Amino acid sequence: MLDVAIDAAKQAGELALKYFKTQPKVTYKADKSPVTRADIEAEKLIRKIISKNFPDHGIIGEELPPVNPKAKYQWVIDPIDGTRDFIRRIPNWAVYIALLKDKQPISSVIFFPTMGTLITGEKNKGTYLNGRRARVSKTKDLEKAYISIGGLKRFSQMDKLKTLTKLFQSVSAIRSYADLGLIYLLEGKIDVAIEPYGFIHDYAPEALIVEEAGGKFSDFEGNFSLVSLSAVKSNGLLHSQVIRLLNQ
């Protein structure tokens, strides 16, 4: 299953990369989020590869309707995570694929086509970054922590700007690395990444990868959830401190 996911992610990534170089036309969905032909075609390709190998499995994609929603195994797809960066010709976008068994992630692949960076994770087998075992940092002191955050606009909509300011004052540095933040977290370069808004196709691949690298994944309430919209990804050692500050 992991081999199929890797193959699908790489093929879809190469397809999307061709569109990335030619700036495809942008349209907007009902929630005003952008979508391009690259998103649609990449997801179609991933679905084709998965269905050929596992015709009884379900598929949950960002751009197209679900398939076999009652199946025990569900593939979760985000063909281009970071479409806004993709549109702006910023290379920090990736193909996200996760496999769920009974609604829990058991296998994940994230591929950054512009860099050739491949991240894989399997339940109880660890996370690998370009073939090397990934490990989160060992930072315990919040004052020494490097933290990456998602869009401030979403924090404002959640009425979290005041609590976010307290967090700013408690750590060493706050940055916004977008999808690169996941790589830096797995390399131990940063200690926490906070996302105020996302969906199952954003979080299912990341959750397993973070935890198999020794970290912790939760929503803002501290609960493991792929559908709570918010996410905190950390080295585990700082997790409870961050959750506490976010909820003050």
Count of Cβ atoms closer than 10 Å to residue 42 Cβ: 28
Q: How many domains is the chain built from? A: 2
Specify if 130 maps to a domain.
Answer: no
Instruction: Verify that 115 and 11 share a domain, yes or no.
Output: yes
SS3 118: strand
Q: Are residues 118 and 172 in the same domain?
A: no
The backbone region for 89, taken as left when phi is positive above 0, alpha when psi lies in -120 to 50, beta otherwise, is left
The verdict on 157 and 239 lying in the same domain is yes
Verify that 70 and 106 share a domain, yes or no. Answer: yes
In a domain, 128, yes or no: no
Q: Is residue 241 included in any domain, yes or no? A: yes
The amino acid occupying position 4 is V
Residue 135 belongs to some domain of the structure? no
| 177 alpha carbon, distance to own chain's centre | 13
Q: Is residue 77 part of a domain?
A: yes
- Domain end: 95, 123, 151, which one? 123
Write down the pLDDT at residue 109: 98
Specify whether 96 is located in the same domain as 183: no
Q: Does 137 fall in a domain?
A: no
Residues 170 and 81 grouped into a single domain: no
Task: State the CATH number of the domain containing residue 58.
Answer: 3.30.540.10
pLDDT 10s per residue in the chain (248 long)? 999 999 999 999 999 999 999 877 899 988 888 999 999 999 999 999 999 999 999 999 999 999 999 999 999 999 999 999 999 999 999 999 999 999 999 999 999 999 999 999 999 999 999 999 999 999 999 999 999 999 888 888 888 888 888 899 999 999 999 999 999 999 999 999 999 999 999 999 999 999 999 999 999 999 999 999 999 999 999 999 999 999 98
Q: Do residues 194 and 150 lie in contact, with contact meaning Cβ atoms separated by under 8 Å?
A: yes
Task: Confirm whether 63 is domain-assigned.
Answer: yes
Q: Do 119 and 148 belong to one domain?
A: no
Instruction: Clarify whether residues 112 and 218 are in a common domain.
Output: no
Please report the pLDDT score of residue 160 as a whole number. 87
* Residue 132 within a domain: no
The parent domain of residue 80 ranges over 2-123
Same domain (yes/no): 39, 115: yes
- pLDDT at residue 153, rounded to an integer: 87
How, if at all, do strands 34-36 and 58-61 pair?
unpaired
Rounded distance between C-alpha atoms, residue 181 and residue 224, angstroms: 20
Regarding whether 150 and 60 lie in a shared domain, the answer is no
Task: Read off the CATH number of the domain in which 155 is found.
Answer: 3.40.190.80
Closest among 150, 137, 149, 144 to 237, alpha carbons compared = 137
- Token pair of 87 as six digits: 């549109």
